[in-house]
């Protein structure tokens, strides 16, 4: 038998997990998927994911790959793993990819989505940020335009997770305003730790109609200045994790 490189496209509800990445003394999506692989094949191995999602973050299309020497057809891993996985994690697709394919380093772009609800819902409260304060929707949609381009997003990254280079290229950034919620989508070449949640938190802050007198409030102008300048200032407005979704990962072959 020859070793094969298998790619998985994974959907999951992150509510019950401490994020994607394996951790000691915590339940993670990665550990759960790898245990399903072990139950299926009897082989313990590590998967490589396109990106780490934080605790509570969901995914429609996480990409992960692993190398294995086994007789199972690549397309059959989907059903085999789903047999052992809990209902809140599903393998949508499994396929053999080139031996040098790496889900993380070969990713060309990612799309994230964030949902904000304008009222409380018994069914959706775990899957969106229920924000009942009045906000200026014109400012909200206008602020998203400032993010498009190539900027140093260090202010929107957890300080301990900043890299030597924190420049990210953003291709698309927009809000869709519906009757009961607002949906933000952003497509970029790369994203920093907590970057999308920090951007959403900042955009909501600057759009609030009722300002908090005891805290610093952003404006459209100050938000634009922070993005376009290389400041080390940390933006502390972070939207809750449960409203965030990794929608898809794009590769050159796509």
Q: List active site positions.
A: 54
* Closest listed residue to residue 52, CA positions, set 126, 96, 107, 95: 107
Q: How far apart are the first and last CA of the chain?
A: 29
Calculate the CA 102 to chain-centre distance.
18
Distance CA 110, CA 81 (A): 25
SS3 content of the chain, % helix, strand, coil (to 5): 25, 30, 45
* 145 membership: H or E segment, kind and range: helix 137-145
* Residue 77 to residue 72: CA distance in whole angstroms: 7
Tokens of residue 17, six digits: 């997990």
Angstrom distance (rounded) from CA 147 to CA 169: 9
CA–CA separation, 179 vs 158, rounded Å?
A: 33
């Amino acid at each position: 038998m020859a070793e094969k490189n298998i790619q998985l496209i994974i959907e999951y509800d992150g509510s019950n997990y401490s994020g994607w990445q394996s951790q000691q003394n915590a339940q993670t999506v990665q550990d759960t998927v790898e245990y399903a692989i072990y139950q299926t094949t009897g082989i313990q191995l590590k998967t490589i994911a396109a990106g780490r999602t934080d605790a509570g973050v969901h995914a429609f299309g996480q990409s992960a790959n692993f190398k294995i020497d086994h007789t199972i057809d690549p397309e059959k891993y989907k059903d085999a793993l789903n047999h052992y996985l809990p209902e809140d994690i599903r393998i949508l697709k499994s396929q053999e990819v080139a031996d040098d394919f790496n889900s993380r380093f070969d990713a060309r772009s990612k799309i994230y989505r964030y949902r904000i609800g304008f009222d409380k819902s018994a069914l959706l409260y775990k899957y969106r940020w229920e924000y009942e304060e009045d906000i200026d929707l014109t400012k909200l949609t206008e602020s998203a335009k400032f993010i498009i381009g190539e900027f140093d997003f260090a202010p929107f990254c957890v300080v301990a997770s900043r890299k030597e280079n924190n420049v990210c290229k953003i291709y698309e950034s927009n809000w869709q305003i519906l009757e009961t919620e607002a949906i933000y989508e952003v497509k970029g070449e790369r994203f920093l730790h907590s970057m999308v949640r920090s951007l959403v938190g900042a955009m909501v802050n600057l759009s609030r109609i009722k300002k908090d007198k005891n805290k610093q409030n952003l404006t459209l102008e100050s938000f634009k200045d922070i993005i376009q300048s290389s400041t080390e200032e940390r933006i502390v407005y972070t939207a809750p994790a449960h409203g965030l979704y990794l929608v898809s990962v794009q590769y050159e072959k796509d």
